[in-house]
Structure 1
Amino acid sequence: MSRHRSTPSRHPLTLALIGTLLASGAAHAQDTGPTQLDRVTVTGSLIPQTQIENHTPVLTVTAEDIQTRGFTSVADVLQQSSLSTGGLQGGQTSASFTQGAEAAGMFGLSPGYTKYLINGRPMLSYPALYNGSDSFNNISGIPIDIVERIEILPGGQSSLYGSDAIAGVVNIILKERMDGGVLNVRGGAYSEGGGNSVRVSAARGFNGVDDRFHALVNVQYEKTSPIWGYQRDLTKVNNPDGYSPQYVSNDFLVLLPANSNRYAMMDPNLCANVAGQFDGTTVLGTRPTGQACGSVYGTGYKTIKNGKESGQIYSSMTFDVNDNFQLFGDALYSLEEVKYATGSNYTWWGTSSGWGRFYDQDSGQYMNLQRVFAPEDIGAGGYRDIMNTDRNKAYQVTLGGRGTAGSWDYSASFTRGEYKLTERNFVRWNDPINDYFEQRVLGPVLGTTSTGYNIYSPDWEAFYSPLPSGDFQSFTGYTYSQSRTWQNLLRAQVTNGSLFKLPGGDAGFAVVVEGGSEGWDYTPDTRLVDGSVWGTTAVSGAGHRSSYAVTSELRMPLLESLTVTGSGRYDAFKIGGNTIDKATYSVGLEFRPIDSLLFRGKYGTAFRAPTLSDAFQGVSGYYANGSTDYYRCGQLGYDPANTTGCPYDSVSVFGTQSGNPDLEPITADVWNAGIVWAPINNLSVSVDYYNWKIKNEVNTLSSDQLLLAEYYCRNGQTNNTSASCQNVSDWITRDASGVLDEIYTPKMNVASQNLQALTASFKYVQDIGRFGSLQFSGNYTDMLKRELQPQPGDEYLDLLRDPYAMWVYDSYAKVRADGSIGWAKDKWTTTLYANYIGKTPNYMAYLGNGYDYVHSSGYKAGKWGSYTTYNLSVNYRAMDNLTLSLMVNNVFNKMPDNQRYSFAGTSGQPYNNYLYNAYGRAIYVQAKYEFGNN
């Protein structure tokens, strides 16, 4: 294969970065004269170039960084990135919609706003939906030991990468070639218990046919046990240090809804019969509202880190047909089984779901019962026997060819991928569980009250007693939900790195044409939909879309010191019979007044096309309580600004919501500006500013906004919502007398966001002679602005300074940073890595909706202090082909236990689990053996 090459003069800015990126601990940044550099394609440009830094910042995490900084997975790399300022749902957030998946995002935006690539090609969307509504990528299932580097490109990038690239792009680049082979064996454990892991990976390179054929095969297997809440002091009991006393959970509760929801103790034995529950910790608990039987230890019976067993096979291949044409291909297959338990808070039975309430003829009171199931009720294995399992199977295959024709490079490829998810979820069957407790506890129906509630005479001794062996299994079981996504992508590119001459050098040009299709099908177990399951429902959805796109990029070095790059892209999607198209562009500027200084900037547009879930998610129902019927109030003379006294000021109405195939794209204007300075060959510093204005975000209109729009439409006035008056007429149903019957609130383009962020990074390598070499690096992100307008006409919410809004929208850290210090000498290398989360609002600030709130206990709203964890690694090359490693993550066993005081004494997870975890110190040992090298 012919390759573009150039022989530039020595350039401190380039050499400093190359030296830092490619150094293996013993990097030397001494002046050795002119250096010949290959032109390479970096994420953020289609045109090969010798400059690593251009108009768009790229944060690179190398395979060496992954090893020395203690990262255990691709998700770990991205979640600990300084760009990850937002809270995330996953294995640490019990009962989230995608607890079995791993997500990451940038700048606090939804994970779906980041475009994820593997070897430059889009990853498959996860079949289940993040937060129950949004498409995203599960970044688990990528074999970490074969990752060559991860390139993170912040800022809007749709002019090159199309839809979803609003927050940025992440390109996970896997190794393509290897001489010889390598075997990695790694084992680990947590000092606090749980989470034991073993990982084995093997890779082998194959070369032949006069060195024209190259292939690489990698196999990786990993097994990790879960971490349970009861294995950590912070999560094993209800909060002992909160703003309220530590209370036992209401495991056996009799609630009096007609008596201000006070508790009634109906057990003549005062909990003695159930004292053995939760390993003998159930007692009579007293609260200001009354007494109930319960344990402070029940909260620990959930997983705070998933268990996982996974395997991946990856292979890549190239074959040089001749000097000017090469065939290539790669394939990745992943199989994962993730296990987790949502805990006792989600494993219970109560009358509120089936009866609403009932009347106890003996006491003459209305009641609701609540009965939590202890491990002893379940059986010998307790909660380990009823874990949920997500089984993920995915593959992605690419075949193609590339070559040169004169000064032009060309390539064409076809990619096919499919992701299948089977969710095995523990459930309680609706009729069997209600029948069981009606027969065992409530007894026969003795009549009904004048208001229609059943009358019973409960058997309180049966209620306050453990379940007989086997009874729990009679009303529980599992559902099996199937879902899948798939995509096909045909891509062709032509590039000319020397299209024409300019004063500053050769102009580069590239054109890419893409076409493809993708689909989504979420099919829940029918029993989740037809009411067979107690306390749980599901929403189905299915759809597909086809698309094509044309992208072009032109890089023009107008002067030796000035380069301008422009790119444009046109995307068209066919969704549900509609064609949705969007053109995006960007213009980038690089100015180098001297060799060691770069000023850079870019302005462009970005977008996100309506996702398949946004367009095709099925209908789900809800009750909108406390809604104002503005139309009927208006008929009585009330102005919509003041409906106090109107009999229709607070009504309950049934609502439905679903996806919407008529959605428009989410759009964004994005620009960044920055500076890179490399005063010497072994030092570089960069600072960049980013600005986003995002419009047409997808949300649903509130019932209040829809009813207000109806008032304006019916009275011939301006309706300032995103719904037309015809929409309003179609979406609000009334009976013949005008009474509200139903409202429909589909997903719509209604929200807007404004963001500003500042990032900084530095890299420095110092040769210290016979003592080896030192390597320093750091990254910093400060969110300057993050404001959200949920609906048209609403005031903007300040998601960085309004503590209530921050907690409602998954929590954010204004500042994040990371840094490392590496030392290398002879056969030894060691690295200390630090990860920093800035101050965040405490839960009491959310509780009081402001920082001036003071609780009656005397505790005040405020912020938690900054939070830093440290990883340490030591590597020793015992033989030329054997390296031994010891990694200790979270060296000082840092826990978010200083957050306890801000939570109530009933909380079982008294910290912000979207940003922090209670895993503690992890210790890993690894042996890496290389073989077969020539």
Structure 2
Amino acid sequence: MREKIISHSVRLLCLGGAVLSMQAMAQTADAPMQTVQVTGSRIASPGAESPSPLQVLTSADIAASGATNLQELLMKNPTLGTPTVSRTNSNFSTSSAGVSTVNLRNLDTSRTLVLLNGRRFVSGIPGDTAVDLNVIPTDFIERVELLTGGASATYGSDAVAGVVNIITKRNFTGLILDAQGGQSTKHDDTKKKFSATWGTSNADATNNIMVHFGYSKQGAVYSKNRAISAVDQNTQNDPEDFFKVNRPFYSSYAPQGRFFDDNGSFTYDRNGAVIPWNTNGTNGQAATGFNRSEFRSIAVPTDRYLLATTGTMALNENHNVFFEGNYASTRVTTMLEPFALGSDDIYKGDTFGQVPAELLINGTLRRNPLVPDRLFNNISDTNGDGLRDYFFTRRMAEVGNRGSKANRDTFRLATGVKGSFNLLKEWNYETYVAYGQTKESQSGNGQVNVLNFRHALEAITDIDDLNTNNNRTEAICADSTARALGCVPINVFGYNSISPEALKYVNAPSSLETRVTQKLAGGSINGEVFDLPAGAVGVAVGFEWRGEESSSEADALTQAGLNAGNALPPTYGKFNVKELFGEVRVPILKDKPFAKELNLSSAVRRGKYSTVGYTTSWNLGGEWSPIADVKFRATRALSTRAPNINELFQPAQQTFPADIVDPCDGIGPTGGGARGDACRAAPGVAANIAANGVFTLTQSDLQGISGYDRGNPNLRAEKGRSTTIGVVWTPRSIAPLRNFSFTADYFDIKIADALVFMPRQYALENCYGGDGSLCNVITRRPSKMGANNSGSLEYIDSLVSNTGSKATEGVDLTASWAGAAGPGRLSARASWTWLHEGYDTPTPGAEKDYWAGEIQQSPKNKASLNLAYKLGAWGISGTTTYIGKSYLDDQFLAQFDLPRNAVGVGSRTYQDIQVTYEFRKKWELYLGLDNAFNTKAPPIVSGLPGNTTGAETEAGAYDPIGRRYYLGMRVSL
């Protein structure tokens, strides 16, 4: 059940651009005008509407979607960009896999503020402010209000792009049970869901309590089970056709190993025979190639247990105590292929990855007996230490698949007092405190201890019986201390050649512990101060205090980068902020010629951060109705965003960027202009050119680029200036269109002093484009590695700074209607966002990097259509989502002298359908199809910008899974 006040306020919001569900449209408006408060304003007033664009999703919309988490539904809204983290794009994440975030206007998750009942919610990602929507039970939500445009003056930092305000159900009496199951037509992506919502209240609803329990389980989707991603592939980077691929494009890291001697390289077949290296392996596990897609995931399996409660207790007629509680326990599992180990992961520095095949022990040269004669007799000293050495790469299949199991727990409790009092006029007040915490405990596997591995590789024959077992022919570790600690020689030559004892010695299970803590306290009062001819002047004033703390700590080997993977040093930081805010709403004209209504509103917020000092945000808005059916609205706002803990305090963390194009690729001994001169100045590049005729990159070079991301404690708050201008048409005076509404809103958001990581491709273009000011963040492999491998990119580092700017501009259109259609009732809503422009600049004066219409950002055109028809006990609803034509990143295309929007993929349309049948009044059976026509995602393969590893498409923007169905039962008691 819904209270009439909720129903009526939702309907008013719909006139301002809300999503109109069939159930909401079917209700009447006979209740008297109530005082309501909407997202975007803290002033409660009759019939309040936000001067900023506001859209609403109701509980009926959520039910009609069959969504397991809120992100699944929100992503169909055209105002939302590609999420930073979702279940289908986070399999390779070192932490926070499976988290569900939202990204308004594609300005990044950190610029979208997510609220629960108008108050902040603890982040689900360490060091960030992004809320994990997995922890909000969908069946407990009454509505979701989307406010697009700057709202920092009303709600504080992070609301640069807008606000997602999740409103939970209130004053519910009864019990609702909901059970659902489903899967894809490929028999994966299984879904199981059960929830129970119970509530009770007294007769006048002054005392009430609600409790919700939910459980959901979503199964994995593996790359090998989709034709587009079943086999490793890579773009040929052919300007004539970027979608022409090398398939198979197997990894050069094979389980049998690849070994480099003075004559080239070789490997072994599964029978142990030596064979020449050939990158064109014919199957997934061929000796000369490895199909990583055989082991990767598209969607990570996720289990969730949810508990939520809310309640109110009246102290007297005008004052009551409220509380909210949330607990979520999430379990996520990631899986990817066994680790690709190179000897340069073990031997760093001056040895350049060269493994000694012989050792100098007490002045005597001792050979490693595990090194085969075929290799030993064809190697020489290549690193200058006087000893024969070799280089190898190997897929560590014996160690097993890499992956992690993450246990994530989120807890939040909020409580406060609210009510009203008379001071000449009636005033409303609210005070609250809240505490939230997210903890993640992650255990991983598939890595190796590089220190132990080095000791295990340096073996000698135990001619002196050092281990006193009377065996003078066996291999032992040369280092006595390592032997005392259990060192066992390791044989890397051939398939499955590593013994269980050696495997135990080099295996390195990993762990990661993260914690995010949020403390809140605040209060506000709002009411009317005096009357003007057009109505009462409303004001709101208040304060907020917030403390944020975050830590992330991996095991010791991972921190030091000694498990051959990403080096992840611990991150810890905290800050607090004290804020005062005020808001005023002034009615200027009412019921005048050409001014049925004219209102102005303004808000200001002043904050003091322990990290960046003082910040100021403000907004100014107005609404003008020349006639009753037409309303014009406009806002101008200055929003601020203080840097989060990661941006401030993150130490150097290793990452492996994808889609990097080396500007030196193909450069010869002459020519190439300034770029050619800069490339040849690097000794490794020069040696490569001398050996190959032109600078040539191998497959391992392309896959071996790394770098470090660093925070910056000297950051400032960024500032976003937004403008929205719109019109709302609600032709209530025209009988056939009485239930029709139309909105059109122009938006323009520009962010100065934007907090950005220096784009790595930009750094490369700067370094080799004749400027050279960013060459200090680039490290190339030296010439001593050998001509065939020298000069390739090894590290490209990036630092957070306030040097960037971001902007987006476009138009939102919505139209909705509901009413009788034949014997039943029909409701319809269409929404469309046209993105005129969107761009970033990494440094002042740099050329704009346009992203509007690019694949990994946001299409220029995105739309959705919701239709629902109710006839007696039967109902059918459908959501059509349209994603317009999108293009490859213009920075990528520039490497091939191609203009912006030269290469792209076609539009995609997805159709979701749900059919319901009610029987016995309180029982409802529902059957749904998602992606009913099995629309295929565009082939954005490895090597192309926007590729999601393992999915071979942009899995955050497009559906990589395919058609799915579900069947459920809902019971109201």
Give TM-score scaled by structure 1 length: 0.80
Is 1:598 aligned to residue 631 of structure 2?
Answer: yes
What percentage of residue pairs aligned between the two structures are identical?
A: 21
Q: Secondary structure at the match of 2:81?
A: coil
- Where structure 2 has 5 or more consecutive residues not aligned to the other structure, the ranges are 235-242, 348-352, 358-374, 383-389, 462-473, 479-488, 591-596, 663-673, 686-705, 732-736, 777-794
1:862 aligns with 2:885: no
Q: Distance in 2 between matches of 1:39 and 1:509?
A: 14
Partners of 1:608 and 1:287 in 2: CA distance:
51
Is residue 25–residue 775 contact of structure 1 (8 Å, CA) maintained in 2? Answer: no
Whether 2:866 is the aligned partner of 1:820: answer yes
What residue is the counterpart of 1:714 in the other structure? none
Matched-pair contact (CA < 8 Å) for 1:90–1:96: no
| Rounded Cα–Cα distance in structure 2 between residues aligned with 1:12 and 1:420 | 39
Deviation of residue 531 (structure 1)? 4.4
- Pairing partner for 1:225 from 219, 224, 227: 219
1:491 aligned residue (522, 527, 550): 522
Asked if structure 2 preserves the Cα contact closer than 8 Å seen for 1:570 and 1:581, the reply is: yes
Is 1:919–2:911 an aligned residue pair?
no
Pick the aligned partner of 1:503 from 533, 540, 555.
533
Q: Residue 223 of structure 2 contacts residue 297 of structure 2 at CA under 8 Å; is this kept in 1?
A: yes
1:476 aligned residue: 507
Deviation digits for residues 834-863 of structure 1 (CA, Å, limit 9, x no counterpart): 112111125899466468489xxxxx9621
Query: Which residue of the partner structure matches residue 745 of structure 2?
Result: 688
Among 872, 877, 890, the residue aligned to 1:831? 877
Is residue 2:825 matched to residue 1:773?
yes
Work out the CA distance in 2 between the residues paired with 1:538 and 1:50. 53
CA distance in 1, matches of 2:759, 2:206: 62
User: In 2, distance between residues paired with 1:397 and 1:836?
Assistant: 39
Among 718, 723, 726, the residue aligned to 1:666: 718
Q: Contact 1:13 / 1:681 at 8 angstroms: preserved in 2?
A: no
2:803 partner amino acid: V
Return the offset for 1:681: 2.2
Q: Please tell me whether the aligned partners of residues 181 and 193 of structure 2 are also in contact (alpha carbons under 8 angstroms).
A: yes
- 2:227 alignment partner, SS class: coil
Q: Report how far residue 472 of structure 1 moved.
A: 5.0
The CA distance in 1 between the partners of 2:538 and 2:955, in whole Å, is 47
For residue 554 of structure 2, what is the aligned residue in structure 1? 524
Q: Distance in 2 between matches of 1:136 and 1:242?
A: 37
Query: Using the alignment, how far apart are the partners of 2:749 and 2:244 within structure 1?
Result: 39
Q: Helix, strand or coil for the counterpart of 2:26? A: coil
Q: How does 1:244-255 map to 2 (within 5 A)?
A: 244-250=246-252, 251-252=254-255
Q: CA deviation at 1:785?
A: 1.2
Unpaired runs of 5+ residues, structure 1, are 276-282, 447-456, 628-640, 710-718, 723-727, 729-741, 855-859
Task: Write out per-residue CA displacement over residues 317-350 of structure 1, whole angstroms, 9 at most, x where no aligned residue.
Answer: 1112221111111111111111111x11x62322
Tell me the CA shift for residue 753 of structure 1. 1.5
Aligned partners of 1:147, 1:298: CA distance in 2, in Å? 41
Deviation at 1:231, TM superposition (A): 2.3
**Distance (Å, rounded) in 2 between the aligned partners of 1:516 and 1:121:** 11
Quote the residue 1:115 is aligned against: 113
The equivalent of 2:543 in structure 1 is: 513
Alignment pair present for 1:894 and 2:935: yes
Offset, 1:207: 2.3
Task: Give, in angstroms, the shift of residue 271 of structure 1.
Answer: 4.5
Please tell me the residue identity of whatever aligns with 1:545: F
Which residue number in structure 2 is paired with residue 414 of structure 1? Answer: 433
Distance 1:100 1:539, change over 3 A: farther
- Per the alignment, do residues 160 and 650 of structure 1 end up closer, same or farther by CA in structure 2, a change over 3 Å counting? farther
**Deviations along 1:193-226, whole A, 9 cap, x unmatched?**
2221211111111224975421111111112221
1:391 to 407, 412, 418: 407
8 A Cα contact 1:4 1:38, kept in partner = no
Shift of 1:591: 0.7
Specify the alignment match of 2:34 in structure 1. Answer: 38
Question: Counterpart of 1:24?
Answer: 23
Equivalent of residue 849 in structure 2, options 790, 794, 797: 797
- State the one-letter code of the partner of 1:362: N
Q: Name the SS of the counterpart of 2:610 in structure 1.
A: strand
CA–CA distance in structure 1, aligned partners of residues 656 and 871 of structure 2 = 67
Cα distance in 1 for partners of 2:491, 2:963 equals 49
Letter in 2 for 1:484: R
| Structure 1 position 35, deviation (Å) | 5.8
- What is the aligned length? 833
Task: For 1:413, give the aligned amino acid.
Answer: Y
Note if contact 2:522-2:544 (Cα within 8 Å) is conserved in structure 1.
yes
* TM-score normalised by L of structure 2: 0.77
Pair 1:82–1:581, CA change in 2 (3 A): same
2:187 equivalent to 1:193: yes
CA deviation after TM superposition for structure 1 residue 45, in Å: 0.9
Aligned-partner Cα distance in 2 for 1:428–1:916: 35
Could you report, residue by residue, the CA deviation over 1:538-591 in whole angstroms, capped at 9, with x for unpaired residues? 02221221211111111111112211111111111113xxx6111111110101
366, 377, 399: which is aligned to 1:362?
Answer: 377
Matched, 1:580 2:580: no
The corresponding residue for 2:468 is: none
User: Cα deviations across residues 645-700 of structure 1 (Å, max 9, x unaligned)?
Assistant: 89987899x99874333321011111110111122321111111111121112235
State the AA in 2 paired with 1:827. A
Q: CA deviation at 1:56?
A: 1.0
Q: For residue 410 of structure 1, what is the amino acid of its counterpart?
A: Y
C-alpha distance in 2 between matches for 1:906 and 1:574? 38
Per-residue deviation, 1:146: 0.8
Rounded to whole Å, the distance in 1 between the matches of 2:723 and 2:523 is: 28
- In structure 1, the residue matched to 2:155 is 161
2-structure distance, mates of 1:409, 1:720: 60
Whether the 8 Å contact between 2:259 and 2:266 is mirrored in structure 1 is no
Does the Cα contact within 8 Å between 1:254 and 1:369 map onto a contact in 2? yes
SS class of match (2:602): strand
Sort the Cα spacing of 1:37 and 1:788 in 2 relative to 1 into closer, same or farther, 3 A. same
Give distance in 2, aligned partners of 1:584 and 1:871: 41
Q: RMSD across aligned C-alpha pairs, in angstroms?
A: 4.5
CA distance in 2, matches of 1:463, 1:296: 14
Per-residue CA deviation, residues 271-291 of structure 1 (Å, 9 max, x unaligned), is: 55699xxxxxxx975279xx9
Local SS of the residue matching 1:234: helix
Relative distance call for 1:604 and 1:844 in structure 2 (3 A) is closer
The structure with higher relative contact order (CA 8 Å, sep 6+) is 1
Residue 100 of structure 1 and its aligned partner are, at CA, apart by 3.1
CA distance in 2, matches of 1:4, 1:929: 22
Q: Distance in 2 between matches of 1:504 and 1:678?
A: 22
Q: Read off the aligned partner of 1:249 and give its amino acid letter.
A: S
Match of 2:140 among 128, 133, 146: 146
- CA distance in 1 between counterparts of 2:834 and 2:34 reads 35
Distance 1:321 1:835, change over 3 A: same
| d(CA) in 2 for partners of 1:28, 1:704 | 55
**Equivalent pair of 2:125/2:132 in contact (CA under 8 Å):** no
Check the 8 A contact 1:196/1:224 in 2, yes or no: yes
